[in-house]
């Protein structure tokens, strides 16, 4: 789906066309999943984050003024939901005992293994930059972090990943 197509589908979805909305979200589903995993590193939490994001996007799509920025807008919503889940988990884990990793965490092991080798601060900027094609400036705005910090994080993350590849 190219930018012009995205724009059309966003506009259709803004007119409450459910099929267009579903198609749009399905198109970005794997990118959303990768983003959620980069933050949460857990299938069940990622599934919750994606579900919340789909519903929020449907509810709030009307507020998106520039359809061409749909992916940036959606990704920001997803990241916020991921951080909400981390906050909720922090409270929850204070009162609950350790849980066994679930069976579904066996998916995409290579990705998770590589992510695990990178400091968590670097994972998300690297995912957004190398996999999803966002510009560093866009990532900086999305994460409310100075541009130079993003550059540094991507550079350090790349070194960590290189070490992982050479091990």
Long-range contacts, 129-134 (Cβ 8 Å, 24+): 129/154, 131/31, 131/34, 132/31, 132/34, 132/35, 132/71, 132/75, 134/72, 134/75
Residue among 94 and 154 whose Cβ is closer to another protein: 154
Distance, CA of 1 to CA of 139 (rounded, Å): 21
Interacting residues toward another protein by CB under 8 A:
1-5, 8, 11-12, 15-18, 21-22, 25, 29-30, 33-34, 43-44, 46-48, 50-51, 54-55, 58-60, 62-63, 65-68, 71, 102, 104, 107-108, 110-111, 114-115, 126-127, 130-135, 138, 164-167
Q: Are 157 and 116 in contact (CB under 8 A)?
A: no
Shortest CB 124 distance to another protein, Å: 13
Residue among 46 and 96 whose Cβ is closer to another protein: 46
Residue among 88 and 94 whose Cβ is closer to another protein: 88
């Amino acid at each position: 789906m190219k930018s012009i197509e995205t724009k059309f589908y966003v506009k259709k979805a803004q007119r409450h066309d459910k099929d267009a909305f579903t198609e749009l979200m399905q198109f970005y589903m794997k990118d959303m999943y990768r983003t959620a995993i980069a933050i949460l590193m857990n299938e069940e939490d990622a599934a919750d984050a994606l579900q919340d994001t789909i519903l929020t996007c449907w509810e709030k799509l009307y507020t998106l003024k520039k359809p061409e920025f749909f992916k940036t807008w959606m990704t920001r919503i997803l990241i916020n939901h991921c951080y909400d889940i981390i906050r909720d988990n922090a409270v929850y884990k204070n009162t609950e005992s350790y849980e066994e990793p679930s069976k579904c965490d066996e998916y995409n092991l290579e990705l998770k293994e590589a992510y695990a080798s990178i400091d968590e601060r670097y994972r998300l900027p690297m995912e957004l930059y190398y996999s999803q094609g966002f510009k560093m400036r866009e990532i900086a705005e999305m994460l409310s972090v100075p541009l130079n910090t993003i550059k540094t994080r991507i550079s350090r993350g790349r070194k960590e990943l290189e070490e992982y590849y050479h091990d």
